[in-house]
Structure 1
Amino acid sequence: MTKSEIVKEISARTGIDGKAVLAVVEGFMNEVKTSLGKEENVYLRGFGSFIVKKRAQKTARNISKNTTMIIPAHNIPAFKPSDEFLTMVKMGKQ
């Protein structure tokens, strides 16, 4: 499902104008990105958590050039679904 399909579905279910729904969806996504950029996790009860995972520095090999390189420590975004979310997906319910 794409963002535009999500917007259309929400608009159809709620009767709210598609442009307003799009603004809310994009605003939500921007807030999540901004929070994660500041290393603040986002918790949505019953849905899941957008979290920042910290990766330690590590040594890697470039096999085509036969060289060793250091990959510095960095943060990556991740999503951890709630138990309720996992149960719904496993059972195939809506």
Structure 2
Amino acid sequence: MTKAEIAELVSTKGGYSKKDANEMVEVLLEQIKKTLERGDKIKIAGFGNFEVKKKSDRRGRNPQTGEELTIQSRRVLAFKPSAVLKNAINENS
């Protein structure tokens, strides 16, 4: 599903104009992005949690040369689905 498809769904189900629906989706996604950039968690009941985690430096190896190197620390985005979402996915499989 694309951002445009989400906006279309908001427009038809919510009774909003396409322009307003696009704006709402943009504002929502921008706010989610800014919240995660700050390192804050996002909890959406019945859907799941988004969290930025920090990975420490670690040793790695170049697969082509076999040379050992250090992989720098970084932040990664983690998503943990809620039990409600997990159950919904597994019921339809």
TM-score range, shorter chain: 0.7 to 0.9
1:27-56 CA-to-partner distances (Å, cap 9, x unmatched) read 111111111111111111111111112212
Task: Name 1:15's counterpart in structure 2.
Answer: 15
Task: Name 1:72's counterpart in structure 2.
Answer: 72
RMSD between aligned residues: 1.6
Distance in 2, matches of 1:78 and 1:22, equals 26
- Percent identity, aligned pairs only? 29
Q: Shift of residue 20 of structure 1? A: 1.1
Q: Shift of residue 70 of structure 1? A: 0.8
Unaligned residue ranges in structure 2 (runs of 5+): none
TM-score, with structure 1 as normaliser? 0.87
Distance in 2, matches of 1:52 and 1:22, equals 26
TM-score, with structure 2 as normaliser? 0.88
Task: Name 2:61's counterpart in structure 1.
Answer: 61
Alignment of structure 1 residues 43-62 onto 2, 5 Å:
43-62=43-62
Q: Shift of residue 17 of structure 1? A: 0.9
Task: Name 2:89's counterpart in structure 1.
Answer: 89
Q: When the two structures are aligned, how many residues end up with a matched partner?
A: 93
Distance in 1, matches of 2:91 and 2:66, equals 48
CA contact (8 A) 1:32 1:50 kept: no
Task: Name 1:6's counterpart in structure 2.
Answer: 6
Distance in 2, matches of 1:16 and 1:57, equals 48
Alignment of structure 1 residues 14-33 onto 2, 5 Å:
14-33=14-33
